[in-house]
Every structure is written in C-alpha cells, then in structure tokens.
A and B are shown apart, each in its own frame.
Chain A
Amino acid sequence: MNALTIEGSQSTPSIFADWDLGRLIMQGDSYPENSFEFFGPVIDWIERYLSESAAPFDLELRLVYMNTSSVKAMMDIFDLLEDAHGRGRQVSVNWYYDPRNERVLDLADEFREDCSFPFEIAADEQ
C-alpha cells in the first residue's frame, strides 16, 4: 500500500519509494509523451506521505535527460516540497549527476534556483 515501484523504460525513469525510510528515488531518462499521467502516482505518493507521516522526506534524483513536460511535472513535485518546507517539515533533494555531462548540472541548478529547502547537487563518481 505504501510502497511504490515503477520499472524504468527507455523513456521513463525507474522509481522506487520507501515509506519507512521517507525516501523516493528516480533514476534514468524521462521523456514520456504524457508526463502528467506518468508522474501522477509519484505526486500522489509524495502528497500522501507528507500529509500522513511527520517524518523527514528525501528525494534522491539520478535523472539524466528530461523533456519539458517532465520538467513541468518535476516543478509540481518541488512545489509540494516547498509548501511542506514552509510548514516546517524537513524535506530535502539530493541530485546526483554524471560529471561528464554538465547539462544535467545546469538542469538541476535551474530547479534549485526556485527552491528554499535543502537541495544538494553532487557529481556521482561511481
């Protein structure tokens, strides 16, 4: 009930949410034709977690390419986190990127400009 697992595909990221740990991970490319539909369950899960649990929430991102409709959906997610942060909730984003591709850093950085909660961007040396 509280678990959310979406297997990745060529155009959609893999998603794994762990309620007990208060963590949601997204990894891969994201360019579905209908991003609103794809990210719906993710947005619902985060909304439910933030309303039903009082524990901290961490969003771990290892996203690479995102089309603009995915960017828009991600903005909705960050807005949820921003609201929660405004209500005193402990929320954070950790975005790991491949240091060979600085475009991902630009993308993450542009999101961070509009967020006031802890938002770390780190090169993933793995």
Chain B
Amino acid sequence: MESIDLFGLREHFNRSRILLCFNGPISRSLIEEIGNALKNYLQADSVLPSAAMDVFSAYVEMTQNIRHYALSRGYDELDSSATIVVARDAEGRYVVQAGNLVEVRDGEALLQRLDELAKMDKAQLKAAYKTQLRQPRDEDAASGAGLGLIDVARKSAQPLAASLVGCSETRSFFTLRAVI
C-alpha cells in the first residue's frame, strides 16, 4: 500500500487555510466534540462572540442536517459519512463546508431549494424563516423541519453555494458552502 503523504496533506491544509476538517461517520457526540474544538479555536482567534456563534451555528445546522438525513434514509454507517471543512478565505472570512451522500432526486430538490434561497434578500429570508417556523411539524421529523438551510442562508455573507457530484446511478455527493 502506498503510504499517505502527510506532509503533502499538511501543506494542502495550510495552503487552503483549513482550520478544521473531518471525514467519516458522524455521531451526535462527535458533532459536539468537533463543535467544541471549533468554539475553542474561534475563541483563541479572538473572533467576536456574535461572529463565532454564526460560524458555530452554520456548522451545527449543516452537520445535524446530515445526521437527520442519513437516519431518515436508513443509511448505514459508511453511507452516513460526513465531510466537513472549516477554513478561512483570502478576506479572512470563515468558510463552512459540509458534504454527504444523498439520493440523486433528493440532491436535485435541494439544489432547487437553494436556488430559491439564493435569490432572496435578508428580509425575504427572514420572512421565509418565520413561515417555515410556523409549518406543522412532520410526525416523524425530529429536526427543525427545513429551518436549518434558511438559518444558514441568513447568516451567510453571500448566497449559499451548493453542488452535486454523481457517484452512482442512485447516489450523488452533495456539498454546501456558507461564508460567514
């Protein structure tokens, strides 16, 4: 087996200003632990408490969405894997990205929804958020019922960017990116 080039990986992380990354099956406790590391990092970086909370919030909503989705689709541990990266861009803003496997059709519906959100200004996003908050809870949905995406969109400095990469006939890899 070819050995993994750790130095190259490190150089790549540094060049891309990646502060934190994770790839693998994600659990409730891992979300908390990684979140804790992120919080500590932001605190050490003297980020304003309100901005730190926005970054933390984007991270929590994205990772919990991945968990809820994988559970709702009955994915096994491997298919429930999440890929999470928190980095800084050239302007020093925080970039929170998360990716996971989805059913092709669900991925397309997500892109369409994000396309709608991208066209909204902050006031429209707030109205959409309040409308969604008033939607009756699905009987089997434990989550915030679609509020998460709108919430992340409201906190993002630019429209959320999303993409789909086909993995098989039925699965795609979905990526979401927020800039805080």
Decide: A72 and B147 in contact? CB cutoff 8 A. yes
A40 to B33, CA, bound (A): 25
Decide: B64 and A67 in contact? CB cutoff 8 A. yes
Q: Mark A8-48, 1 if CB is under 8 A from B, else 0.
A: 00110000000000000000000101111100000000000
10 A-B pairs in the complex with CB atoms less than 8 angstroms apart: A33-B28, A33-B67, A34-B142, A36-B142, A37-B142, A65-B53, A67-B57, A67-B64, A75-B134, A103-B49
- Give the interface centre of A64, A67, A104 by most chain B CB atoms within 10 Å: A67
| Chain B positions near chain A (C-beta within 8 angstroms) | 28, 31-32, 35-36, 49-50, 53-54, 56-57, 60-61, 64, 67-68, 126, 130, 133-134, 137, 142-145, 147-148, 151
Residues of A in contact with B, size category: 20 to 34
Q: Known contacts A33-B142, A36-B137, A75-B134; can you find 19 more A-B pairs with CB under 8 A?
A: A10-B36, A11-B32, A31-B64, A33-B143, A34-B142, A64-B53, A65-B57, A67-B144, A68-B61, A68-B144, A69-B142, A70-B144, A72-B133, A101-B49, A101-B50, A102-B50, A103-B49, A103-B54, A110-B126
- Residue in chain B with minimal CB distance to A37: B142
Tell me whether A87 is interfacial, beta carbon within 8 Å. Answer: no
A114 to B131, CA, bound (A): 12
Asked, given contacts A71-B133, A102-B50, whether A10 binds B142 with beta carbons under 8 Å apart, the answer is no
A27 to B122, CA, bound (A): 29
A60 to B31, CA, bound (A): 28
A68 to B130, CA, bound (A): 11
- Residue in chain B with minimal CB distance to A67: B60
Tell me whether A98 is interfacial, beta carbon within 8 Å. Answer: yes
Decide: A35 and B60 in contact? CB cutoff 8 A. no
One of A36, A75, A104 near B133 (C-beta < 8 A): A75
Q: Mark A97-117, 1 if CB is under 8 A from B, else 0.
A: 010111110000010001000
A37 to B53, CA, bound (A): 24
Decide: A101 and B53 in contact? CB cutoff 8 A. yes
Decide: B148 and A68 in contact? CB cutoff 8 A. yes
Q: Using Cβ atoms and an 8 Å threshold, which residues of chain B touch A34? A: 142
Asked, given contacts A31-B60, A33-B28, A101-B49, whether A69 binds B67 with beta carbons under 8 Å apart, the answer is no
A103 to B56, CA, bound (A): 12
Q: Using Cβ atoms and an 8 Å threshold, which residues of chain A touch B144? A: 35, 67-72
Asked, given contacts A33-B64, A33-B142, whether A98 binds B133 with beta carbons under 8 Å apart, the answer is no
A71 to B35, CA, bound (A): 19
A35 to B41, CA, bound (A): 26
Asked, given contacts A72-B145, A75-B133, whether A10 binds B32 with beta carbons under 8 Å apart, the answer is yes
Q: Measured between C-beta atoms, what is the minimum distance from B49 to chain A in Å?
A: 4
A64 to B54, CA, bound (A): 12
